[in-house]
Chain A
Amino acid sequence: MAGLVENISLIGDEIPWLKALRRKGEEAFLKSGVPGAKTEAWKYLKPKELATDDYVFSCGGCSQKVKQEIPFSCYRICFENGRFCPEGSFFPEEIEVLPLIEAILTKSSEIQFWLKQICDLNKFPFAALNQKYLNEGVYIHLPQGFVLDKPLVLDVHTSCEDKNLFSNLHNVVVLDKSSKAEVVEYYHYDGELKSHYFNNVVNQIFVGKGANLKHIKFQNEAFKASHIAFSHVLVDEKGLYDSFCLQRGADLARNESRVILRQQEAECVVNAAYKIDGWAKVDTTTDVEHLAVATKSHQLVKGVIGGQAKGIFQGKIHIAQDCVATEGNQLHKALLLSDEAEVDVKPELEIFADDVKCSHGAASGELDEEQLFYMRSRGIGYEEARQLLISAYFEEVFALLDNQDISNWLKSFL
């Protein structure tokens, strides 16, 4: 039996700063444990079941047997069962791409600098747990002014049969001044459906001055799997962090983004969509911190919930004192396809400055009977009509993706 907290031997424990970080992570997690209904930030998701599963920490390497077709031209960094897979990975020479542990060993001071900028993990139990196992993941560094010509896909594939693999990827993405990239995180699986494997991911993202990162994520884990991810994003002056996350899989999932607009005119887009069924619980949590003047944030999240599934949206916009000429918009909409489907929404605005434009809204509803009838009266079958209306519902948020190839690829999974 192995629980979430085990003493497994990791490379690099002889490096004092790394050992200290790992220990700090463990301590922070042990203090809070797996959060339940009493922890405000987790009261809707209540991921208690994560505490009781029996996990394994490794499960085969990168056999390279399955290589998912991705229908657009891209660079690729592959992980198989939580391990970096050099065979399937290819990327341009101009950018630095290293497995995280290799970066720790060879570029100690640089990587230490980035890793230490993560926020206080006492409020982020799973990110703390991830830090306890700091080892796997990738370090990506774009030099000043470099423009990546194709999307870079982080292809995270699981095929652990019926074992409950627990893996903790930790990625560090650094965009130097005026560089530009599109990064796609893709989580998917093959094989036995029963596995309660658990992907616990942390991304630390740094968008330099005038840099532009498009960050697309597609969570399509196995239907009994768990997926918890925390992206900690720092955006500098005139930088743009433009993100979109589609959640389609997993039984228990949370995608949390904490975006800190820390210099003037920094901007972010934190859009998301989810389509869930069965008994899934899928959480989208955002926290956008406006810490400088003339910063902007935009959020549109759309969910479609069927069966007895539960959709969760917790969105916070914080505007610090004196951050004038700031703009923050947030909108969550959900479509409930059954009587037992549920949606929990908690928007929060904290505004400590004058001269700001801020809005938030939430709406939920059902499929429009008039629209359904109209389609059916033209010969389109009930299921097909429903599918068309569901796709139409998502169109509002997909229309905001400017890469048509990626947009079409994601839409094909709806």
Chain B
Amino acid sequence: MTTPLLEIEDLHARVKEKEIINGFNLTINEGEVHAIMGPNGAGKSTLSNVLTGKPGYEITSGSVRYKGYDLLKLSPEERAHEGIFLCMQYPVEIPGVPTATFLKHAVNAVRKHNQQPELDTMEFLKMLKEEGKKLGIDSEMMKRPLNVGFSGGEKKRLETLQMCILKPRLSILDEADSGLDIDALKVVAEGVNSLRDKERSLLVITHYQRLLNYIVPDFVHVFADGHIVRSGDKKLALELEEKGYAGFVKEN
């Protein structure tokens, strides 16, 4: 039996004094696509932030192993080097940094870690143009400051583009469909699906079932009150769509 790509055991995490995640368990093997669905406030974003190492979260107990190693010891950049990528719900705007410049720094940081030669500007721009084309991103957008004034759709396309050029082993998609119309959604889903293979895994975090029509999961988990309350296959998503989350959330 091979080591799972990601193994979360009895994870408890809090922000300031508030415990958001309690007793969370999940195992993702290579090549699997897992969807986590849950109502607002279930702790979905906290989960993705904890996995990517965002400062401000305290892990009180439990463990997260990635490729068999203790993930929680790694800095955010080390996690990225090891192949973890978070496709953010609200990517931040960074005035003064051209999109292409940022992407080049990111690509070369990962390449350097993998002991690959860094791309020079010409090689990089060529690659960027090819990958961008697939997602309908024109090269003018690359000259603009990162995410500044981008529409919701443009931001999501850019997140997907980064995923496609960084080729992560574990991609976490946090509400990847929010703010997308159906055409943009298809383009983004196509980009994501193009990365699916035997080695790469996906964790799709979403409120709605819609996205899962395009990125079809192997497993669906219902996330409520800080932990998984039920797991199943893709049919579970349809059931949730029909019945809502009411039956899964604790009555207070």
Contact = CB atoms under 8 A, between A and B. Distances in A.
Contacts of A393: 96
Given A379-B109, A384-B105, A374 B92 contact: yes
Contacts of A105: none
A411 B88 CA distance: 31
A94 interface: no
A381 B80 CA distance: 10
A77 B53 CA distance: 54
Interface string A370-409: 1101111111111011001101111110000000000000
A369 interface: yes
Contacts of A376: 53, 75-77, 80
Given A374-B91, A375-B102, A377-B86, A392 B96 contact: yes
Among B79, B92, B113, B145, chain A packs the most CB atoms within 10 A around the CB of B92
Interface of A is mostly: helix
A384 B109 contact: yes
A381 B109 contact: yes
Interface in B71-98: 75-77, 79-81, 85-86, 88, 91-92, 94-97
Nearest to A399: B96
B166 interface: yes
Interface string A347-373: 000000000000000000000111101
B109 A373 contact: no
B236 interface: no
Given A376-B75, A381-B77, A391 B109 contact: no
Interface residues of A, number: 24
Interface residues of B, number: 29
Contacts of B55: 369, 373
B184 interface: no
Contact of A391 (B53, B80, B96, B110): B96
A250 B101 CA distance: 31
B141 interface: no
B54 interface: yes
B52 interface: yes
A369 B55 CA distance: 9
B52 A377 contact: yes
Contacts of A378: 80, 85, 102, 106, 109, 162, 166
Given A379-B166, A380-B109, A381-B109, A395 B94 contact: no
A272 B166 CA distance: 38
Contacts of B80: 376-379
A339 B137 CA distance: 41
Contact of A373 (B54, B81, B101, B105): B54
A370 B105 contact: no
Contact of A392 (B52, B94, B110): B94
A383 to B, nearest CB: 10
Contacts of B113: 379
A395 B95 contact: yes
Contacts of A369: 55
B106 A380 contact: yes
A412 to B, nearest CB: 15
Interface string A37-75: 000000000000000000000000000000000000000
A131 B125 CA distance: 55
Contacts of A384: 105, 109
A371 B106 contact: no
Contacts of A396: 95-96
A388 B105 contact: yes
A391 B94 CA distance: 11
B81 A374 contact: no
A374 B95 contact: no
B163 to A, nearest CB: 10
A237 B101 CA distance: 43
Contacts of B77: 376-377, 379-382, 385
8 contacts: A370-B92, A375-B102, A376-B75, A376-B76, A378-B166, A379-B81, A379-B106, A380-B106
Given A377-B76, A377-B79, 15 more contacts: A369-B55, A371-B92, A373-B54, A376-B76, A376-B80, A377-B52, A377-B77, A377-B85, A378-B109, A379-B166, A385-B77, A388-B97, A388-B101, A388-B102, A393-B96
Interface of B: 52-55, 75-77, 79-81, 85-86, 88, 91-92, 94-97, 101-102, 105-106, 109-110, 113, 145, 162, 166
Q: Which 6 A-B pairs have the closest CB atoms?
A: A392-B96, A395-B96, A379-B80, A376-B76, A378-B106, A379-B109
